Structure 1
Amino acid sequence: MFRALRPVLARRPSGTFRTCVLLVLLAATGIAILELVREQTGTPGFFVGLGLALLPVPALMAAFRWLGRAAPAPWSQLLFCFGWGACTAALIAILANNFATRWIAAATADPSGADRLGSVAIAPVVEESAKAAAVVLVFVFCRRHFTGPADGFVVAGFAAIGFAFTENILYLGNAYVQDLADGTSVLDSVTAATFFVRILLSPFAHPLFTVLTGLGFGVAAVSAQRWRRICLPLIGLALAMGTHALWNGSSQFGDHGFYVVYGCVMVPLFGLLVWLAVRMRRSRLRAVAGELALYAAAGWLAPAEVPALASVPARSLARELARRGGGRAAGRAVARYEADALALALLRHRARRGGPLREADFAGREGELLRRLWRSRATAGPALARAAAMEELLPPRSGPCGPQQLPGPRRAEPSVRRSGPWTPARPAGPSSIRPCVLPGGDGVR
């Protein structure tokens, strides 16, 4: 019987099956965490905490999305990370932290000491591991969308935003219940103090910790050495846990310990990560422009499309122009074209840098993207070229031809022989991969 089931068990689960399993898991943990938080805060406290905790979420999402827009990941993937942090990771953290704190209190007979030890030694390990699980799932099952440090940065940030959202509901709801019991005024209330510290002063705390894990996975995704692919994620996770533990233990460093850690560690680290995010965004847009220029030289793209695809405002304008001229369907077609072009550029950039990408995987994925681009080029190309002209991204042209006139392809779509897969030339290293070389040497000239 086991031999009969072996082929079935050896099959990898399909994408639809994985999606259904993850949705069921998120729904179950979401219902559980909702009821758990409501029990701890009470219904009035839950709704007050929910309303206040929602305030920083749109701004934080927009900040991380701004970085990701250079080569955006699917919204479904980002919402999954947010849901994982808000539901699954939060539930794991609450249950594990409560169990660990009770166990320490029973072993040491010192409840106050158990709370301090749990917040410094247990909570950072549990919470960062639970949030990192979302990054691991994307890294394993969505490797096509995990092309560098920027992807790890964004994915980890969304998971941390979800986790902080649920945690803030709990803290703010409990503070509101305490204020109701004490009858304190609004300005002198625990709720106001909690709101100031968690929402106004340090809304970036959890994203800052988990981003370190995401950067480790992002660098590992483009590293050729096996030891880097193993060690870098672990180093990133360890740094996230250490920074989290320092933040949680700042109140133990005296009356001004919190402000010292905030000013000397958190603010500089936040500034460093903001600088790194800006640098990664610019680097990714330059990589898109450089790689797509080679495909344009080979005839797969019009030269006017390259500067538009390497500009976030021009991409948005191209989608808007397509919607005005051809409706929502045309806008979606341009959006798909842009996503495929960006994926193609990052695929080649990853191969050029020596990432862990097999030649067969590169050839198959490149061929798939090029075919899809070619089929949509007639619709998306004019919109992108016009957007580039309106954004003044094209160099001036001499002669009667205006900037909106596109150079047509020198040949029709390159013929693809069906005898084998698309294969790049076999160079000495990935940096020499030619994107348009087909079996038998047929290509665009």
Structure 2
Amino acid sequence: MVRTGALFTALAVCGVIILAVVRQHIGTESFLVGLVLAILPVPLLIWAFLWLDHVAPSPWKNVVFAFTWGACAATLVALFANEYGAKLIATTFSATPTQTDQWGATFVAPLVEETAKGAALLLLFLFRRRHIESVVDGIVLAGLAATGFAFTENILYIGSAFGEDKALGSSVLDSATAATFFVRVLMTPFAHPLFTAMTGIGFAIAATSRPRSVWRWLAPLGGWLLAMVLHGLWNSSSMLSPVGFLTVYVAVMIPVFGLVVWLAFWARSRELRTIRTNLPVYAAAGWLTLPEPTALASMKARGQARDTARRYYGESGARAVRDYTAFATHLAFLRAAATRGMPAPDFTAREAELLHHLWQRKSLVQLPLAQAATPHLPPAVWAAPFPHPRQAPMWGPQPWGAQAPTQWAAPGTWAAPGPGKHQ
């Protein structure tokens, strides 16, 4: 907790500094206008990434860290590094101001900004690797970091455009502010998330690869390089004619965006297949009821189970279903990694912990999940009121407790998880 508090305090300080620098650079009125306009796409983008991550939600600390890193630390680094890079180009190559701007946007900005945003993924990979369980996690965390970065950057760009319009007395419709808002907020709100998603995919591949696999270093490096190439191509297209800019937008940006969206949905469906494939062994051992793997592998069934639990148990029941599905999903991913020959060093302890969390909630959850998985059950089964949580019967063997296995058992040799019998 101390380290977490210190980290977020440092990020908050970075946020205060970067906002103060931007306000000083463009003025208070321009800053406020830029802030209001830049924040408009942020809730939608955050909602989209969190929805995509709904199968196996990332810990809130990772989510908040990724966004605040992009909005605060990455932008602060990029602001000064981009300025230094522009000065270096001007002095080294005796470039004109126009050449400096073009070369800086094409070569310096992609290197600096994708490195600054990608640092969030690197830190999560180094210190929170166990929570990066699929490609979806990489896309989501990278997208959140880039969304935060784009938010702060848009304040600067939109605010600067507003300051220019105010000085020139431009009309609202025919103004740099409207053009900047249209391009950066309406037309390409996905640009920064798209670039950094390449880095996120690379780190996700590394996190799910064998420790000595070449992909452990090659995938993040390749993703980072691809992010810079896309970023540089996009920045350079802004210097072309309107036709050239639209050509790059239609021929490159939209297809790549569509490909990443397809990959995200494919990875999301693969997460559900992982649940469906790896949880039956726990049902066979008595930890889950037989219908549960089917229900947990369906987002529709999960929603139905939450609604059923809410109807009979209130919000505490719905919350129990949400927690139960999250723990069961992480258990499936843990088991899948071990089945691929990559068991976590603390596999036994983590498995026992997740099973313990499931066991604590099973009296509230198993009946709603069973109904969601098998809606064709005779109505008489569901006619009687649900038992109160404290009166609900217990199913399955007792939790491991202190008798957890000391080593991982292969799926084919899975033993009963505890000495307890069905009650």
TM-score normalised per structure 2: 0.90
Match of 1:243 among 194, 213, 230: 230
Moved more, 89-98 or 218-227: 218-227
Mapped pair 1:294 → 2:281:
yes
8 Å contact kept, 1:299–1:409: no
8 Å contact kept, 1:45–1:176: yes
Equivalent positions of 1:380-395 (< 5 A) are: 380-386=365-371, 388=372, 393-394=373-374
Partner of 1:20: 5
Structure 1 residue ranges without an equivalent (≥5): 1-15
Partner of 1:8: none
Match of 1:95 among 74, 80, 104: 80
Measured after TM superposition, the shift of residue 53 of structure 1 is 0.8
Moved more, 405-414 or 297-306: 405-414
Distance 1:361 1:403 in 2: 44
Match of 2:293 among 306, 310, 324: 306
Tell me the number of residue pairs that the alignment of Structure 1 and Structure 2 aligns: 415
Match of 2:191 among 166, 188, 205: 205
RMSD: 2.6
CA separation of 1:295/1:188 partners in 2, compared to 1, >3 Å: closer, same or farther? same
CA separation of 1:58/1:399 partners in 2, compared to 1, >3 Å: closer, same or farther? closer
Deviation per CA, 1:384-415: give whole Å up to 9, x if none: 334x1xxxx42634796459999987754166
Measured after TM superposition, the shift of residue 332 of structure 1 is 3.3
CA separation of 1:307/1:403 partners in 2, compared to 1, >3 Å: closer, same or farther? farther
Match of 1:114 among 89, 96, 100: 100
Measured after TM superposition, the shift of residue 230 of structure 1 is 1.2
SS at match of 1:73: coil
Match of 1:124 among 96, 110, 115: 110
Mapped pair 1:35 → 2:20:
yes
Match of 2:179 among 193, 207, 216: 193
Deviation per CA, 1:55-78: give whole Å up to 9, x if none: 111221122122110111123321
8 Å contact kept, 1:222–1:354: no
Measured after TM superposition, the shift of residue 421 of structure 1 is 4.5
Residue identity in the other structure for 2:134? G
Residue identity in the other structure for 1:396? H
Distance 2:185 2:413 in 1: 50
Equivalent positions of 1:14-413 (< 5 A) are: 16-107=1-92, 108-224=94-210, 225-254=212-241, 256-355=243-342, 357-358=343-344, 360-386=345-371, 388=372, 393-394=373-374, 396-397=376-377, 401=381, 412-413=397-398
8 Å contact kept, 2:72–2:149: yes
Structure 2 residue ranges without an equivalent (≥5): none
8 Å contact kept, 1:299–1:444: no
Partner of 2:407: 423
% identity of equivalent residues: 47
8 Å contact kept, 2:134–2:271: no
Distance 2:34 2:75 in 1: 15
Distance 1:373 1:69 in 2: 18
Measured after TM superposition, the shift of residue 269 of structure 1 is 0.3
SS at match of 2:214: helix
